[in-house]
Structure 1
Amino acid sequence: MHNPCRAMVPESTTLTFDSTFKSHGENCAGTLMVPGAVERPPVIVMGHGFGAIRAAGLSAFARRFIAEGYAVYLFDYRNFGDSEGMPRHWVSPRRHLADWAAAIRHVRTLSGIDTGRIVLWGTSFSGGHVIQTAANDRLIHAVIAQVPHVSAIASLRQVPVRVTIRLMMAALRDHAGRLFGHPHYSRIVGRPGDTAALTTDECWEGYARLLPPAAPWENKVLSRIFLDLPFYNPLRHAHRVKAPTLIVAGRRDTVTPAHAAYRAAMRIPDCEFHLVDGSHFGLHLEDEPACLENIALQLAFLNKQVARPVRCRAAY
């Protein structure tokens, strides 16, 4: 890939490249977006939350980062979106963390960006992933985690007991079915009382608003995840994160409670914590005041912790 600075493109131009990588032998789809007229910009690696795809809800943040001169790399996990992997719709902390590690290895091989200044960006479920990934990779330059899942207990307390029992039964059915090639799926998002992963009042409308028209997304996930979730606690790894970290939580978040995010922030040696007056999905949606405040906090953090990108001089 050519250095975008040498191309002498207009400053407002964004150069976009398909950039796939391998994770455990399967192709993961990725997109690298580089701002025009910026010499070797820092790069922000972005992955989505529970059951989503890179086309859903990340573009609002990516556009703002690129406008400030940062490159962005978006990717789909295995079994999701444009990435390979069967069966489809397999949410797994272990597999997601492996994909994060593979994505970072890939980004470090790319030209035209500053691979010494890699920022991890995660939201909700992937907010926990970036904390745990940074704990294992001391070369990460900075971390942004918004409304992160850091504590299984805190998140599960938001789910009614009767729904939890149904999801556990679905998980057992999926594990039995996988032996015979018949996986069992549950819904990702539903209305209160539904058997789904996300069912609080804000979830049904909020999740739908993240999805662009005709997005290749289905409201289902392999039910086996519900036996993994009780054991996934990135909070336990927070004390090992050495990179400067920003955690933004929502005061009215009914999915990943703010108090758990605060506990994680207190364990990270160099962490900035902000509590925004918004819901879980309100911090994702750019027509919401909470989202605009969230983005402003993230840009301020980046400009403080990651040196501002250098603009190329125009060619005469």
Structure 2
Amino acid sequence: MKSIESSFASQGLRCAGTLLMPAQGERPPVIVMAHGFAGVRAMLLPHAERFVEAGYAVFLFDYRNFGDSEGQPRHWVDPARHLADWEAAIRHVRNLDGLDTGRMVLWGTSLSGGHVVCMAAGGQPVAAVIAGHPLMSGWAAIAAMRPLAILRLTLTGLRDVIGSLVGKPHYLPVVGRPGEHAALSGAEAWAGMERLKAIANVQWENKVLGRVLLKIPHYNPIRVAHKVRVPTLVIAGSNDTIVSAVVARKASRRMRHGEFTLHASDHFQPYYGDYLDENVKVQLAFLHKHVPL
């Protein structure tokens, strides 16, 4: 496997990217991957390396304001900004040498699982899409919370928006234990992220700008799922308390060529151990069917 650092510009800022090339084969199909809510691209390496071992090229990137990418203030999650970064990443990859960019696959997980659906629905000429444990309805995710938690998160978002006007942005933890004030406090959130950090062996700060809490309820990729015309694999977990498997299944049924797989996993387990192996096995079967080498 050959690793090539390959950054690109999005809205005037540098986004860090890494191209992974398989050891054998000429002009392989390429899978474009980006991390989920407030993550970094290194967390995707366990998946990416298995795709490369199977013969596919992979391009990983960090959104602006995250990881090795430029952008201030740091840790700024915003679906609209992420979608702009996706468009820039796709343009960049199409201009890279040695790839069969006519057979490009978009791969996203969690929040970015919704992003790749939006990209395909918007008419990006890609061969296939893989959306793992995707956020298909921000409104559904918020509505599942207790009223007091919703109020606290809303106030946190407003505090950040107001503070940003005077140069004092406000952060909250990305993950917390059940009952704690954090963007993600599902039963698996804290332990799952700790495991993921250890496997990825990366420096990662547990914080995100509060303003995202005002954006998520209005981000609902399920509304454009019917516009997706390419083969799309949607994977969900029956024990996922972060995003709804029911909504993910509903979104897949709206797609012309949607395929749905349900695993007995939570939101983070697909990144490691036996769940990772099972997850990748299903994804490779999908790729071999729709984007064969």
Report TM bin, short chain. over 0.9
Residue 79 of structure 1 pairs with residue 68 of structure 2:
no
Preserved contact between residue 35 and residue 70 of structure 1 (Cα < 8 Å): yes
What is the deviation of 1:243?
Answer: 1.2
Distance 1:79 1:96 in 2: 10
Preserved contact between residue 159 and residue 199 of structure 1 (Cα < 8 Å): no
- Cα RMSD (Å) of the superposition? 1.1
Q: 2:261 corresponds to which residue?
A: 274
Residue 263 of structure 1 pairs with residue 253 of structure 2:
no
Residue 189 of structure 1 pairs with residue 175 of structure 2:
yes
Work out the percentage of aligned pairs sharing the same amino acid.
52
Preserved contact between residue 55 and residue 211 of structure 1 (Cα < 8 Å): no
Within 5 A, what are the aligned runs for 1:209-220? 209-212=195-198, 215-220=202-207
Preserved contact between residue 92 and residue 225 of structure 1 (Cα < 8 Å): yes
Q: Deviations over 1:138-161 (max 9, x none)?
A: 411100001000012321234332
What is the deviation of 1:100?
Answer: 0.4
Preserved contact between residue 158 and residue 200 of structure 1 (Cα < 8 Å): no
Q: Deviations over 1:215-269 (max 9, x none)?
A: 2311100100011011000001111111110001101111111000001101110
Q: 1:147 corresponds to which residue?
A: 133
Which amino acid is 1:304 matched to? K
Preserved contact between residue 158 and residue 254 of structure 1 (Cα < 8 Å): no
Counterpart of 1:250 (choices 207, 217, 237) is 237
Q: 1:230 corresponds to which residue?
A: 217
Q: 2:154 corresponds to which residue?
A: 168
Residue 112 of structure 1 pairs with residue 98 of structure 2:
yes
What is the deviation of 1:306?
Answer: 0.2
Which amino acid is 1:81 matched to? G
**Secondary structure, counterpart of 2:173 in structure 1:** strand
Q: 1:299 corresponds to which residue?
A: 284
Counterpart of 2:20 (choices 19, 26, 33) is 33
Distance 1:158 1:61 in 2: 29
Preserved contact between residue 139 and residue 219 of structure 2 (Cα < 8 Å): no
Which amino acid is 1:305 matched to? H
**Secondary structure, counterpart of 2:41 in structure 1:** coil
Preserved contact between residue 163 and residue 194 of structure 1 (Cα < 8 Å): no
Counterpart of 2:34 (choices 47, 50, 58) is 47
Q: TM-score, normalised by structure 1?
A: 0.90
Higher percent of residues as helix? 2
Q: Deviations over 1:153-173 (max 9, x none)?
A: 321234332222111101111
Preserved contact between residue 139 and residue 216 of structure 2 (Cα < 8 Å): no
Distance 1:193 1:263 in 2: 29
What is the deviation of 1:214?
Answer: 5.4
Which amino acid is 2:148 matched to? R
Q: Which runs of 5 or more structure 2 residues have no equivalent in the other structure?
A: none
Within 5 A, what are the aligned runs for 1:189-208? 189-208=175-194
Which amino acid is 1:107 matched to? V
Q: Deviations over 1:256-289 (max 9, x none)?
A: 110000011011100111111111111222x1x3
How many residues are treated as equivalent by the alignment?
A: 292
Distance 1:51 1:107 in 2: 23
Structure possessing the higher radius of gyration over alpha carbons = 1
Distance 2:292 2:276 in 1: 24
Which amino acid is 1:291 matched to? L
Which amino acid is 1:292 matched to? D
What is the deviation of 1:292?
Answer: 2.0
